[in-house]
Structure 1
Amino acid sequence: MLDLAIIGGGPAGLTAGLYSTRGGLKEVVMFEMGMPGGQITGSSEIENYPGQLEVVSGLDLMQSWPQQAMKFGLKHEMKKISSVVKNGDIFILTADDGSTFESKSVLLATGSVPRRAGFKGENEFFGRGISTCATCDGFFYKGKEVAVVGGGDSALEEAVYLSKICSKVYLVHRRDTYRAAPSTIEHMKKTENIEEVTNVDVEEVFGDASGVTGLKVKSKEDGTIRQLDVPGVFIFVGRDVLNEPIKNEDGTFICDTDDQGQVIVDLKMRTSLSGLYAAGDVRIDAAKQVVCAAGDGATAAVDIIDFLG
């Protein structure tokens, strides 16, 4: 019987493993198919993690985290958890290989992945001029022109954020209306160095060995092609929450979620189902930052220790 089962091995899961084992829990297992570290290990440069003065890769930043957590007793199972159900006071976790585990509490820290837009060149230049995080990568384009693709709140908010760093921001959207809140739209329209490029489809992003050099958009009205010469393209067309483990066979969830499948939690990362917690990008209103995910994991672990008495 486990005290705590952690599903996911990113910053939230690892920090929860560290705090829970150091706080006295004996049987804590982190379920992660690959090497722990999370999505941040794919980032080439990290310069905004507190206390990390030198610019390092995401892989280097996360390198020592698993070792530190396992020093206090965290165990790592290289299994993918496909379902979680609660039977009385006990959670039953089933892995893809059919093996099952019982636990007194569960932390879901599976995260989310940016949704791809699907245009030509997106996969080729992802991470080499194409980004899904303005907070992470905006600084690299200081004083330069960039493009933002999307029409929701995130796209408009990030366009405004980038406008404070970059000389100009092209806001590229396939419609001529936005799905963002009226106040967000108003704020964007008042920002002088944002140019709206609407009612267009992105034909392709192109570049060379050094990365992105521009993108081409096609007008839906007359079919004309326009080229935007930018070294950076930021894509905000939504995220896919990795919530499969808590989904019932009928498509509902074992706890409350919002209409996008993000897990609803309180300030202690508790879900609507007693003993089930969620931390990091899988939860509502996540900031999508390593330091915030780590804070979530610590917050959840502290409360789990109290929950288990």
Structure 2
Amino acid sequence: MKQTVHDAIVIGSGPAGYTAAIYLGRAGYAPLVIAGALTPGGQLMNTTEVENFPGFPKAVLGPDLMNQMREQAEHFGAQIEYDDVVSVDLSGDIKRITTDGGEEYQTRAVVITTGSQYRKLEIPGEREFSGRGVSYCATCDGFFFKNKPIVVVGGGDSAMSDADFLTRFGSSVTLIHRRQGFRASKIMVDRAKANDKISFLLDSVVTRINGDGSGVTSLDVRNTATGQQSNIPANGVFVAIGFTPQTAFFNGQVDLDQDGYILVKGGSTKTSVPGVFAAGDVTDKIYRQAISAAGMGCRAALDAQEYLTSLDNR
């Protein structure tokens, strides 16, 4: 039996992927969205209140926002598959996509919205105590550290938001950052500084995570200015130091920058491969906002539509 050739496949989900699917669906292309097996919906599935997405003056829960986007995409004809892409063949007019479940899909256009994954500290103890005190998702795991000392590592918006959220559970929250200044926006820094349960340990890096059979017990910390070593008690360590784009499975078939983010041409979402487009955090390491990802997903869908029209007019 001849295999179906889709007009468009969206690899990934989140604000970029679901928005691309909405636009492609409304244009009549019935896109297939390969949304991921474990975290369909992207990083917002691990976020509590989203206060800066237009249209929600009283904020919206991240999972609720993603579920509404998914339902909207399905309403306009998108098909959602909950699987992970493990390899692709982007050569020629017909692209081939293989999933972890063993399915192979064919498509004329691809929109990549695979986002990024949590960056690790890569220090002794991190891997050993992952899931036993070391976490990368405050909203997922904060509950397990009620009345226990918590440390957040990082200096961006995510770190500030995590620290603020974790004060609901921890006996104390210490934010450790390698510099004096923060990457986070002023409003997020001000909010964290106004919270009496948050203390700051600046010009400092965690060098080792210590623990026993029950989990994490303390951290070894080095002051970057003086070199002084110290040990601080902690049962929960939440790492919020950025992300790594999920592009490894493309195996060099699209051009990437030195950090692994997909390069796009000018103000478009076109990659180095005709018929392949990218949107969201997989290509954006500056803004990294849900609304900018959604806007880029819209642009990717429009670029894909233009490409598909050009194929039909050959």
- TM-score > 0.5, shorter chain as reference: yes
Of 135, 159, 178, 2:157 maps to 135
Alpha-carbon distance between aligned partners in 2 of 1:148 and 1:235, rounded to the nearest angstrom: 10
Deviation at 1:4, TM superposition (A): 0.5
Cα distance in 2, alignment partners of residues 274 and 56 from structure 1:
37
1:293 to 2:293 alignment: yes
SS of residue matched to 1:113: strand
How many corresponding residue pairs? 266
**Residues 52-131 of structure 1: pairs in structure 2 closer than 5 A:** 52-117=56-121, 118=126, 121-123=133-135, 126-127=138-139, 128=142, 130=152
User: Residues 196 and 136 (structure 1 numbering): CA distance in 2 closer, same or farther, change over 3 Å?
Assistant: closer
Task: Encode CA deviations 1:147-203: one digit per residue, 9 max, x unaligned.
Answer: 24346xxx842387754544499xxxxxxxxxxxxxxxxxxxxxxxx9743466365
| Identity in percent | 26
- Identify unmatched segments of 5+ residues in structure 2: 143-149, 166-171, 212-217, 310-314
Are residue 201 (structure 1) and residue 207 (structure 2) matched? yes
Aligned to 2:19, the other structure's residue is in SS state helix
Q: Does 1:261 pair with 2:260?
A: yes
Whether the 8 Å contact between 1:41 and 1:62 is mirrored in structure 2 is: yes
> Which of 218, 225, 229 is 2:231 aligned to?
225
Contact kept in structure 1, 2:119 and 2:244, CA below 8 Å: yes
Question: How much does 1:101 deviate?
Answer: 1.4
In the aligned structure 2, how far is the partner of 1:61 from the partner of 1:233?
Answer: 24
Q: Give the letter aligned to residue 175 of structure 2.
A: A
The match for 2:145 is none
* Matched position secondary structure for 2:306: helix
Cα 1:112–1:15 change in 2 (3 A) is same
- Give, in angstroms, the shift of residue 244 of structure 1: 3.0
Looking at structure 2, the residues matched to 45 and 69 of structure 1 have their Cα atoms a distance apart, in angstroms, of: 22
Note closer, same or farther for the CA distance 1:131–1:68 as it changes in structure 2 (3 Å cut).
farther
2:51 to 47, 58, 62: 47
Please give the root-mean-square deviation of Cα atoms over the aligned residues, in Å. Answer: 3.8
Contact 2:158 2:240 in 1 (8 A): no
| 1:227-275 CA distance string (max 9 Å, x none) | 79xx997732x4222113311xxxxx11110122110113221111111
CA distance in 2, matches of 1:288, 1:103: 28
* Structure 1: stretches of 5+ with no match in the other structure: 170-193, 206-214, 248-252
d(CA) in 2 for partners of 1:124, 1:302:
34
Aligned letter for 1:218?
A: V
- Does structure 1 conserve the Cα–Cα contact (< 8 Å) formed by 2:178 and 2:202? no
Could you tell me which amino acid in structure 1 is paired with residue 280 of structure 2? Answer: G
In the alignment, the residues of structure 2 paired with residue 125 and residue 79 of structure 1 have an alpha-carbon distance, to the nearest angstrom, of: 22
Q: 1:155-170 alignment to 2 at 5 Å?
A: 156-158=182-184, 163-167=189-193
Q: Secondary structure at the match of 1:225?
A: strand
Partner of 1:235: 240
